[in-house]
């Protein structure tokens, strides 16, 4: 975890730090089956950053995506408010979260913005609600 003071740091510096952290965590990705490495950096409302990378498993359903790892790390540290999630994969031009990740993000961060980055450091911004238009909701 790293901390950035959102009040004292310009948006550009925050972006550079998120990009740096995504590239750093990507090196820990374990993707022997898909050969697709993914890094994620979750920026919290209080300035904290949590990272995650994908970790595959021979029993493919036990694989964990980078997005959920970053989110679960943040939740396990008591974070409750999330601003954006930066995703990067050098193998995919503009990687988006899978359906499972979208559903989990909706439960804990329904207002989050998902940002994708390609190798040319071009960014695309997607409010979660545009990617998951009809989330599952549990009701009794």
CA neighbor of 66 nearest in space, from 86, 44, 46: 86
Rounded CA gap, 121 and 70, in Å?
Answer: 21
Selection from 63, 107, 110, 105 nearest residue 87 by Cα? 105
| 67: annotated active-site residue | yes
Are 37 and 90 spatial neighbours (Cβ–Cβ below 8 Å)? Answer: yes
C-alpha to C-alpha distance for 110 and 123, rounded to whole angstroms: 21
Assess contact for 41 and 69: CB atoms under 8 A.
Answer: no
Distant-in-sequence, close-in-space partners of 100: CB < 8 Å, separation ≥ 6: 65, 68
Q: Indicate which residue of 67, 77, 79, 122 is catalytic.
A: 67
- Would you please indicate which residues are annotated as catalytic (active-site) residues? 67
């Amino acid at each position: 975890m790293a901390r950035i003071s959102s009040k004292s740091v310009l948006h550009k510096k925050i972006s550079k730090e998120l990009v740096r952290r995504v590239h750093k965590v990507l090196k820990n990705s374990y993707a022997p089956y898909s050969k697709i490495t993914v890094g994620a950096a979750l920026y919290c409302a209080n300035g904290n950053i949590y990272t995650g990378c994908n970790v595959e498993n021979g029993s493919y359903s036990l694989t964990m995506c980078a997005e959920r790892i970053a989110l679960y790390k943040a939740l396990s540290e008591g974070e409750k408010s999330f601003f954006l999630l930066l995703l990067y994969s050098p193998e995919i031009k503009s990687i988006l979260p899978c359906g499972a990740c979208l559903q989990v993000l909706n439960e804990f961060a329904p207002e989050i913005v998902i940002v994708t980055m390609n190798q040319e450091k071009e960014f695309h911004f997607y409010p979660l609600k545009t990617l998951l238009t009809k989330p599952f909701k549990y009701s009794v």
